[in-house]
Amino acid sequence: MSQEGKDETGGAGDGGQNPPVDVAYGETLPPKAPVRRRLAARRLLRAEVYYAAALAAFAALTFFVYRNPQLDWDVRAATAWQGVPGLFEFMRLASLPGDRWIPHAVTTVTVIAFLLLRRFSEASALLLSAGGGALLSRSFKILIARPRPTPELVQVFRPIDTMSFPSGHVTFYVCYFGFLFFVAYAILPRGSTRRRVALALTALPVLLVGPSRVYLGEHWPSDTLGAYLMSGVWVALCLDLYRRWKKPKKVMSDE
């Protein structure tokens, strides 16, 4: 029997075992696929477990907030955080890029910049991430209809008449800056100063926006937690689509 025949019947070609499957794209990996790519597939499988856990946590938190709009631990945590002095201006600055029309303007300018650089996949995925995140945030705000913090319970920087859960600022920061963090990590030269600066500048706003919204009295801690969970899952889905657009069908191929 020829070598080809043995391979077709699962013979000596691969020891009679089924070839490994790429869990990222549902394709069969070559028998001699590099180890690093098989490890990447396993990492992706673990990531999918994390995404499922985050989605379950968000669903549970959403149900809990819907049934109990005012949580005692929210009030205690917000009051304790606002008791830290000297942070108001810093927290106000951290929250500023998510105010009013700024997210729309920043996203539009960035998408145009990507298009001018002929980064069409990046432009499309960023638009999907930021636009879809905003739509999800507004939909859940309408669905849950949770009131904002009131001056009777915490210090409020300015009264806002929109609903509270989940935080729109946090959603925008995760979907916009979080996506740019991944792009910088993926396309900038490893170890370069540009890459380190870009990663720092995109990670820092995401870390600061949640605490800033609570400090300003414009959201409860659970609003920001829900937004981190929801937008984290959403941006992960957008990044997966982005990877597929960038290298369709040949990401895991050696040919």
Residue at 26 is within a domain:
yes
Residue at 76 is within a domain:
yes
123: tokens are: 């432009």
Mean pLDDT of the chain: 83
Structural domain count of the chain: 1
Residue at 1 is within a domain:
no
Q: How far apart are CA 54 and CA 229, in angstroms?
A: 6
Burial class (CB in 10 A: 0-12, 13-18, 19+), 140: buried
Residue at 230 is within a domain:
yes
Report the pLDDT value the prediction gives residue 115, as an integer from 0 to 100.
94
Provide the whole-model pTM.
0.79
Residue at 251 is within a domain:
no
* Beta carbons within 8 Å of 22's beta carbon, 6+ residues apart: 28, 29, 37, 41, 252
Residue at 24 is within a domain:
yes
- Could you check whether the bond before residue 166 is cis, i.e. omega within 30 degrees of 0? yes
Q: Return the closest-CA partner of residue 251 out of 29, 65, 17.
A: 29
Report the pLDDT value the prediction gives residue 30, as an integer from 0 to 100.
52
Strand partners, 22: 27
Residue at 13 is within a domain:
no
Residue-range definition of the domain harbouring residue 80: 18-246
Residue at 103 is within a domain:
yes
Q: Would you place residue 38 in the very low, low, confident or very high pLDDT band (cuts 50, 70, 90)?
A: low
